[in-house]
Amino acid sequence: MDLEYSTVKIKDASEIRIPFLYTKFLEIAKKLRFDLQLITAVHAVHNRQLLDAFNTWRTAMFLKHRNSPEKFKNTRDWQAFPDGKQKAAFADGFSAYCSQFFWNKANTLNAIPMLQGTHGENLADICQQGFGNSSTTDDGYYGRGMYFTSSLDYAAKYANKSSNKGKAIIVSMVTPGNVFPVTEHPNDTIKGYKGKACRPGYQSHFTLVNKSNIAGAFPVTGDIDPSTTADELVVFESAQTVPIFYFYTK
């Protein structure tokens, strides 16, 4: 799925006039269950360099998955882990999210809209240069990479209010590749993935956490309650993601 977005900026959510952009944003908003009454302003992002890098990475990784599956597509080799049942629940939840989008088919790499809450002053740099710098700010609980979520209220916990506009949220398309479900606690220095690179044979990490406190956002155990759970997706290559919209929420 090649992505193309207009260079036109949308200054206010109530004044979207371009049908293509209006439809695309509303499609994403519906899938991710946004409360549109809380959105104060929306902007479309078009960065040809980032878009080309994203599509090039997807093409290259698709070929690697197809030609060398034993190296680039370890399929659930974690099933024999002691926590394999919980990992399977995480992986199935991620697959269910991807399947909502019609372009994700069996013979393609998934591309999914995900969110990142940020500081308003960081928006220009991210839209111009991508998310690469964000992977160097700290070790990260689930790997030293770029973090995204599909939960708006969880993303908003990482954002700050930018003057009177509200909290800044970026919508990006992300190609996670082969996803490793992380159930290991980040404080486990042996098994955990805090500050580590991506697990070999995978291109991203995915976990489900308790969303009530970002400082204690550790993997859930046992039954998964959607009302108290948020997802975190970690990618490790800047070309795996491209910003397509950013907006402000109350």
Which residue in this structure is represented by tokens 């960081």?
122
Range of the domain at 123: 13-249
**Rounded Cα–Cα distance for residues 164 and 73 (Å):** 46
d(CA 81, CA 1): 34
**Does the residue 6 lie in any domain?**
no
Residue 7 lies in a domain: no
In a domain, 71, yes or no: yes
pTM: 0.88
Q: Does 174 fall in a domain?
A: yes
Instruction: Count CB-CB contacts under 10 A for residue 9.
Output: 12
**Rounded Cα–Cα distance for residues 215 and 141 (Å):** 10
pLDDT per residue, tens digit, the chain (250 aa), is: 233 333 334 344 434 444 456 678 888 988 999 988 888 888 888 888 999 999 999 999 888 888 887 766 666 788 888 899 999 999 999 999 999 998 887 667 889 999 999 988 888 889 888 998 765 556 899 999 999 999 999 999 999 876 677 899 999 999 999 999 999 999 999 999 999 999 988 999 999 999 988 888 999 998 999 889 999 999 999 999 999 998 888 8
CATH number for the domain including 31? 3.90.228.10
b vs e for 101-121, b when ≥16 Cβ sit within 10 Å of the residue's Cβ? beebeeeebbbbbbbbbbebe
Domain membership of residue 208 (yes or no) is yes
Domain count, the chain: 1
Sort strands 167-174 and 179-181 into parallel, antiparallel or unpaired: unpaired
Residue 151 lies in a domain: yes
